Amino acid sequence: MKIECIKTHHLRCHLEQPFGFSQWAYNQRNVLVIEVITDQGISGWGECYGPADVIQAAVEKFYAPRILSMNALSTDAIWHHMWRSSLDFARSGIMMSAMSGIDMALWDLKGKALNLSVSDLMGGKQREQVPCYATGMYFRDAPEEILLPELVAEAKGYAEEGYQAMKIKVGKNPDFDEKLIIAMREALPNTLLAADSNHAYDLSEATRIAKVLDENNYIWFEEPLSPEHPELFRQLQDKCTVAIATGECEQTRFGFKKLLDAGGVQLLQADLAYCGGPSEALKIRTLASAQGINMIPHVWGTQLNLAAATHFLATAYHEPGRAEPKELMLEYDRTENPLRDNLYKTIVSVNNGQASVPTGAGLGVEIDLDQLKEFDICATESK
């Protein structure tokens, strides 16, 4: 079964309600999705995390010509062929994001060819449902005295929908962040809460915020520091008890080994559409397991990445293991996203804070090709 054609689609939608976090604000969503098609007519879909137009060039101009005619079921062989092809100049970044989307599409394709789900290919499900945490509480253009109660009300709405865990955004400024952390805990005393600064703080600011998170029983502090300074995670962890989580900006087992070797990180968050794809995510999970650390994927984008992460967590064992298992939760972004919610015929079903693991072949989600045309601003085809 040979790879005969590779198509890419740069998808874009504009948002009715722009939202922001510590670094900038979004008024539109963009994503690159990839379809790999075989000479037997079987195809698989994947997606890439990052700037869609730049990644599209990497797929079309570089990787696609190099893997056409390869055995579509040889996912590891294809991965390493791509890796060696760009090793001298692109061990991370945009090129790895392109590889991730291709790899995800190949896992989807292999599952369809063998009539197995991706979780079957990953070793088999441990559970039929995966608990979710709701990601939201992004900043909006409003005075802080108005913004804070609006964010608390948003979080209470997710709790009413059945979410027992959620992640808030911090990193606006330390004074506001402290107030928000405390207000969320007061409003939701029995909810699992985490906080994500998107690498907004220096070490002294992160230490200050970590203390407030400790005092309010938050379960992790995500991206408290710049990914450029992994040695600071160890210094921060020595000053607090809240778990330090990071990894959405990291790629490949080699990058994650350096991150773990620096110490301080207690929860890894590789993104399957960015870290190297499902093939590499499994290797990163094994690496983390060898150090007694859990990995739960960062999820941002469409149903393809959501499905890949759901299968990944359905097959996961938690570290260190016990009779009453620790829940490894799926990130479920609750912000406006037509590319996730309006593009697919078959989706990952999420009800009452629980995601049902797709049972169909491959990733188990299906793009509506008619809807695809509505969002597709640039398509390519390599054959």
Whole-number Å distance between alpha carbons of 262 and 253: 14
**Angle ∠(221,223,228) on CA atoms, nearest 5:** 145
Q: Is 298 among the residues known to form the active site?
A: yes
Identify which of 234, 282, 226 has the alpha carbon closest to the alpha carbon of residue 250: 226
Whole-number Å distance between alpha carbons of 184 and 199: 21
Catalytic annotation, pick one of 9, 10, 298, 311? 298
| DSSP category for residue 276 | S
Residue 198 has φ and ψ, to the nearest 5°, of: 50, 55
Number of Cα atoms under 13 Å in the Cβ half of residue 226 = 5
Residue 129 has φ and ψ, to the nearest 5°, of: -130, 150
Whole-number Å distance between alpha carbons of 374 and 196: 33
Collapse the DSSP code of 12 into the 3-class scheme (helix H, G, I; strand E, B; otherwise coil) and give the result. strand
| Helical (H) or strand (E) element with 351 | strand 350-351
Identify which of 241, 283, 289, 232 has the alpha carbon closest to the alpha carbon of residue 262: 232
Pairing, β 294-295 against β 43-48:
unpaired
Residue 19's identity, in one-letter code, is: F
Peptide bond into 338 cis (omega under 30): no
Just list the catalytic residues.
Answer: 298
